Amino acid sequence: MKEQIGEHLRLIEAMLPHVELLERIAERVIECFRRGGRLYLFGNGGSAADAQHIAAELVGRFKRDREPLPAVALTTDTSILTAVSNDLEYAQIFARQIEAFVTQRDAVWALSVSGRSPNVLRGLEAAKRKGALCIGFTGQGGALLAERCDLCFRAAHDSADRVQEAHQLAYHLICEQIEKKYM
């Protein structure tokens, strides 16, 4: 366990050079909200849970009471997810929703530890076609995801648990910056 904690601490310390990127992500999401846009979030497994977590922090509250912000996790409507998976293909579950809901005023935030999930990559491609801002969170091997994003945070690790730990800290920092603008 001491070894794991040491690894975690090294990973978190490696995030320091990325603070400016995280600040830019927060500013771009704030710009999106100010122009009447929405933030759409998506990922698989633990990243789906993170997408829902971020949406909850923005719609509800993070640390302070403030107006709700328009954030939607595309991972929660089981009827859409199962219908698209069954009738089209699983790789289309996010792209189909993005085609239906996203406009050029909006932002999408894709989370994928590996950065290689076909459904996440197709979602980003659909968002690009719509002219939306594309934000990504991935691990160090996530080049495929990163190249489809306008802004991308890549945790300096490939192990899912460590990457998700870095992602959680990073998105909490972003949520706090966003919330400060709405106080």
pLDDT the model gives residue 183: 58
Mind listing the pLDDT tens digit for each residue in 38-63? Answer: 999 999 999 999 999 999 999 999 99
- 143-154: average pLDDT: 98
Write down the pTM of the prediction: 0.96
- Rounded to 5 degrees, φ, ψ at 70 are -80, 90
Task: Tell me the per-residue pLDDT of 153-177, one tens digit each, with 9 for 90 and over.
Answer: 999 999 999 999 999 999 999 999 9
The conformation of residue 147, written as its DSSP 8-state character, comes to: T
- Chain-centroid distance of CA 127 in Å reads 13
Secondary structure of residue 144 in the 3-state scheme: helix
Q: Where are the beta strands (DSSP E) in 75-175?
A: 107-112, 133-138, 151-154
Work out the end-to-end distance of the chain between its first and last CA atoms, rounded to an integer number of angstroms: 40
Partners of 135 in beta bridges? 109, 151
Percentage of the residues of the chain whose pLDDT score is greater than 90: 98
Please report the pLDDT score of residue 171 as a whole number. Answer: 98
**Mean pLDDT (whole number) for 1-8:** 93
| Average pLDDT rounded to a whole number, residues 83-109 | 98
Cβ atoms of residues 122 and 150 within 8 Å: no
Q: What are phi and psi of 77, to 5 degrees?
A: -90, 95
Question: Are β-strands 107-112 and 133-138 bridged in parallel, bridged antiparallel, or unpaired?
Answer: parallel
Alpha carbons 71 and 52: distance in angstroms, whole number: 9
The pLDDT of residue 86 = 97
Look at residue 18 in the predicted model and tell me its pLDDT: 97
Q: What is the mean pLDDT of the chain?
A: 97
Distance CA 174, CA 178 (A): 6
Query: Binning pLDDT at 50, 70 and 90, where does residue 126 land?
Result: very high
Spatial neighbors of 49 by CB under 8 A, at least 6 apart, are none
Q: How confident is the model at residue 182 (pLDDT cuts 50, 70, 90)?
A: confident
> What is the predicted pLDDT for the residue at 148?
98
Split into its structural domains, the chain has a count of 1
Confidence bin at 102 (pLDDT 50/70/90): very high
Q: The domain spanning residue 149 has which CATH number?
A: 3.40.50.10490
Kindly give the interhelix angle for 93-101 and 118-130, rounded to the nearest 10 degrees.
20
DSSP-derived secondary structure for 17-77 = GGHHHHHHHHHHHHHHHHTT--EEEEESTHHHHHHHHHHHHHHS-SSS------EEETT--
| Domain that residue 148 falls in | 2-181
Residue 128 pLDDT > 80: yes
What pLDDT score was predicted for residue 75? Answer: 98
